[in-house]
Chain A
Amino acid sequence: MIFSKIVVTCMRIGSLAPEVKVTQADIIYQSAIHFTPLISRTEIDLPALKTLVATEYALACFRKEEIATGAIIITGETARKDNAEEVLNVLAEFAGDFVVATAGPDLEGILAGFGAGAASQSDFCTGPVMNLDIGGGTTNAAIFVDGKVVDCFALDIGGRLIQFDFDSAIIYIAERLKPLLQALGLEFGVGSRPKVEELSCLTDYLAAGLIAVCRGVKVPEFIEELFIQHVHKRIAARFIMFSGGVAEYIYRHTECLTLEDVNFHGDIGPLLGRSIRVAFEKLGHQLIVPKEKIRATVIGTGTHSLQISGSTIVFDDAVLPLRNVPVIKINPAECADSGLCDIIRSKIQLHEPGNVAIAFAGIVSPAYSEIKKMAEAVVMATGSRQEPLVMIIEQDWAKALGQTIRIMLNGIKPVICLDRIKADYGNYIDIGKSIGQVVPVVIKTLVFKS
Chain B
Amino acid sequence: MQEGMIRDIAAIEYNGRLTIDKPKDADSCVRLKKTTNARICVGRAGDRIKTETWLRFRADHAVAMDAVWSDVDESVIDQLKFYKIQTLAKDKEQYLTRPDLGRKFSEQTLGEVKKHCVMNPVVQILVADGLSSPAINANLADIYPMIVDGVRANGHQLGTPIFIKYGRVATMDQLSEALGACVTVLLVGERPGLATGESMSCYMAYESSTAKPESQRNVISNIHRNGIPPVEAGAQIVQLIDILLREKNSGVTLKL
Contact = CB atoms under 8 A, between A and B. Distances in A.
Contact of A371 (B146, B224, B228, B233): B146
Contacts of B256: 16
B240 A400 contact: no
A399 to B, nearest CB: 4
Nearest to A366: B231
A395 interface: yes
Contacts of A367: 141-142, 231
A15 B239 CA distance: 14
Contacts of A126: 25, 27-28, 31
Could you say which interface size class chain A belongs to?
A: 20 to 34
Contact of A404 (B28, B143, B149, B230): B149
A397 B232 contact: yes
A404 B153 CA distance: 10
Interface in B186-208: 204
A396 B141 CA distance: 18
Contacts of A365: 224-226, 229-231
A50 to B, nearest CB: 42
B137 interface: no
Interface string B213-226: 00000111110111
Interface in A397-412: 397-400, 402-404, 406-407
A17 interface: yes
A283 to B, nearest CB: 24
A396 B219 contact: no
Give the secondary structure class of B's interface. Answer: helix
B41 interface: no
Interface in A117-151: 126-127, 146
Nearest to B224: A365
Could you say which interface size class chain B belongs to?
A: 20 to 34
B111 interface: no
B70 interface: no
Nearest to A363: B229
Contacts of B141: 367-368
A312 interface: yes
A17 B225 CA distance: 15
Contact of A403 (B31, B150, B204, B226): B150
B77 to A, nearest CB: 16
B194 to A, nearest CB: 20
Residue from B31, B143, B204, B226 having most chain A Cβ neighbours under 10 A: B31
Interface string A8-20: 0000000111000
Residue from B221, B224, B235 having most chain A Cβ neighbours under 10 A: B235
Contact of A366 (B31, B149, B229): B229
B110 interface: no
B238 interface: yes
A39 interface: no
B229 A397 contact: yes
A146 B35 CA distance: 12
A364 interface: yes
Nearest to B237: A16
A76 to B, nearest CB: 34
B75 to A, nearest CB: 16
B27 A402 contact: no
A146 B236 contact: no
Interface string B110-142: 000000000000000000000000000000011
B235 A400 contact: yes
A368 B142 contact: yes
A397 B225 contact: no
A403 B145 CA distance: 12
Contacts of B143: 368
B180 interface: no
A395 B229 contact: yes
A402 B235 CA distance: 9
B102 interface: no
Interface in B22-62: 25, 27-28, 31
29 contacts: A15-B219, A16-B219, A16-B220, A17-B222, A17-B236, A126-B25, A146-B31, A312-B232, A312-B236, A364-B225, A365-B229, A365-B230, A365-B231, A367-B142, A368-B143, A368-B145, A368-B230, A368-B231, A371-B231, A396-B228, A396-B229, A397-B229, A397-B231, A399-B232, A400-B146, A400-B232, A400-B234, A404-B146, A404-B235
Given A16-B236, A399-B236, 11 more contacts: A16-B204, A16-B256, A17-B228, A17-B233, A146-B31, A365-B224, A366-B231, A367-B141, A368-B230, A368-B231, A399-B232
Interface of A: 15-17, 126-127, 146, 312, 364-368, 371, 395-400, 402-404, 406-407
